[in-house]
């Protein structure tokens, strides 16, 4: 009997790209914040209160949040 590994979702997802690793709006380019990995550093645990975890400046879909730097999370 063979067991297949199911893809494991990381709980440390980049807030700016939503874990895709692609730049929002332009799927050919890597995310500006995570560099294309789709993940954020594990040390960033608290959801950013300014952007509410989206990684984007409120009122703008393209600019990263100035508080968390686009990660969506803070220390």
Looking at residue 50, its pLDDT comes to: 96
Cα gap 11→57, rounded to integer Å: 22
* 10-residue stretch averages of pLDDT, the chain, 75 residues long: 52 91 84 93 93 91 91 92
Looking at residue 28, its pLDDT comes to: 85
Looking at residue 61, its pLDDT comes to: 81
Looking at residue 10, its pLDDT comes to: 63
Looking at residue 9, its pLDDT comes to: 56
Question: Tokens 């297949």, residue?
Answer: 4
Looking at residue 24, its pLDDT comes to: 76
């Amino acid at each position: 009997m063979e067991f297949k590994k199911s893809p494991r979702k990381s709980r440390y997802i980049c807030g700016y790209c939503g874990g895709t690793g692609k730049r929002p709006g332009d799927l050919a380019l890597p995310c500006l914040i995570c560099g294309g990995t789709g993940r954020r550093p594990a040390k960033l645990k608290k959801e950013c209160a300014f952007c509410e975890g989206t990684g984007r400046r409120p009122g703008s879909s393209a600019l990263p949040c100035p508080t968390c730097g686009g990660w969506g999370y803070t220390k």
